Structure 1
């Protein structure tokens, strides 16, 4: 008999066509459960207009920061791009072949105000942070490493143009994900689409969710959820963020912003690459110790 191939413990994220504010708050926000809402933004102009060609048309001359999937090093500053390119040239690249170059946390709507007319904040009972949304772009097969957000926001994540695969885990599963100390990420050498269970055996204990987002669909990710994204086709997404609902998570966000990030930056300057290597080693040692591997 052939051995059963091992895989991550993932269940499909619940899907709804539409939802009322009352049901969204009671069934998803309060219990902190993820959900995909397929037709939440059908009335947005963006749903009809936004694709890569349109973005190239209205924002093609903007020079945008690009990031690839190289591991973090002590020489790289926080959120420092690996290269820059005109948006039109970048979109031509996305459409021509697979590429690892991605755009993330980019305030394109600030750079191109006409895009602000194409969306609105949904009336779902969330306390949205009313700064302009951030956009994310990626090429076919490009990946975003597993991480959670520094501010513990509740996130509505909208996808445009093509498809992307989203793997997410509740905060409770972080102890199985080889979290890097003093950081918001798991080990960057873990391929969550094809994990190495010999090197990372504890991943088999983690219970998470998976979905494929298509154009115009919205994913609700509760506060503190881990997430990893793979662009199955070239495309882009937009996130709206809402403040944490609990004092505990608000306190964690403040700690991350004021203490953890500054301490990590200080240690990078002091120890350089040795600090990065130490943290990656500790991610394995601490995870295996906690789980008695």
Structure 2
């Protein structure tokens, strides 16, 4: 039995009014295929162009190793010159990814390559974050700490996105006091006998190609699988719903600091306890017996 995944609706283009009415207000995802065709980035942005513009920058790298108690929040696992990283992406599959990298701040000349679309969202212009990955690299299922609405633009190659609304959290083996599901779940090919709650989860999927944009509403879970080497940029806007703004403030001001405190106090036992509780709480809530 595969995951219950519905294809995300697609439109070629859309007016601000229709986007707000059909997707932003009801908080539904959509892929807009041609939103970037008038951006300079549409013709310019590929791995070689990024190497030319940012090759001398040292970039933080992340892989798929499990979270450890002695690592800081979003602490990088390695670093490399961008030119060497792009060589690696083109040469062979790699688990190393660039995550939440503000390349437009590091390389201001790239700012002229993008436009901030007018879709009825007040975008945070100082936080355009970029993400890179190699063939078959995967980003574990998670949601963003600040519950922002996300416009996720992909360039160079193809990327598969699996997303779930916040109301599906109860099926996703959420790790307590964190923003992730169990990291040992491969959402590309999950073992549904081991993770039976996933059978009940109802989500969405799409394959993004060069220049396409995925709108992810606030609080949506997302899992990314790079089918080829490529990179993406996310533009964000603050939560529209008061309750989600409250959740964002709780995550930033309380949850993150409590989790860091417990890591220092309990060490790896705290991480192991949380991972165990992800299973216990999910199965208890759904009445699943092991």
Aligning the two structures, in what range does the TM-score lie when normalised by the shorter sequence?
A: over 0.9
Secondary structure of the residue aligned to 1:121 is coil
Q: In the TM superposition, what are the counterparts of 1:28-47 in structure 2 within 5 Å?
A: 28-47=23-42
Distance 1:280 1:240 in 2: 31
1:280 is matched with: 275
What TM-score, normalized to structure 2?
Answer: 0.99
Post-superposition Cα deviations, 1:68-111, rounded to whole Å, max 9, x if no partner, equal: 00000112111111111000000000000000000010011111
| Pair 1:233 & 2:232 matched | no
Q: Does 1:165 align with 2:160?
A: yes
* RMSD of Structure 2 on Structure 1 (CA): 0.5
- Normalising to structure 1: TM-score of the pair? 0.98
Unaligned runs of 5+ in 2: none
User: 2:64 — aligned with what?
Assistant: 69
Partners of 2:179 and 2:36 in 1: CA distance: 30
Residue 271 of structure 1 corresponds to 266
The secondary structure found in structure 2 opposite 1:65 is strand
Decide whether the 8 Å contact of 2:127 with 2:236 is kept in 1.
no
Q: Secondary structure at the match of 2:260?
A: helix
Cα offset, 1:279, TM superposition: 0.1
Q: Deviations over 1:116-137 (max 9, x none)?
A: 0011210010011121300000
Structure 1 gap segments, 5+ residues each: 1-5
* Counterpart mapping for 1:237-256 below 5 A: 237-256=232-251
| Paired position in structure 2 for 1:54 | 49
Taking the aligned partners of 2:3 and 2:200, their CA distance within structure 1 comes to 8
Q: Bigger shift: 157-166 or 123-132? A: 123-132
Q: 1:130 aligns with which of 125, 131, 136?
A: 125
Secondary structure of the equivalent of 1:53?
helix
- Matching residue of 1:111: 106
Give the match's secondary structure for 1:36: strand
- 2:218 matches 1:188: no
Deviations 1:52-83 (A, max 9, x none): 00000110010101010000011211111111
Structure 1 pair 152–132 and aligned structure 2 pair: CA distance change class (3 A): closer
Among 83, 97, 111, the alignment partner of 1:88 is 83
Distance 2:233 2:192 in 1: 33
Distance 1:172 1:94 in 2: 36
Q: 2:223 & 2:75 partners in 1: Cα distance?
A: 20
Equivalent residue number for residue 98 of structure 1: 93
- SS in structure 1 of the partner of residue 110 of structure 2: helix
- The DSSP-based 3-state class of the residue aligned with 2:276 is helix
- Secondary structure (helix, strand or coil) at the match of 2:150 reads strand
1:221 is aligned to: 216
Partner of 1:205: 200
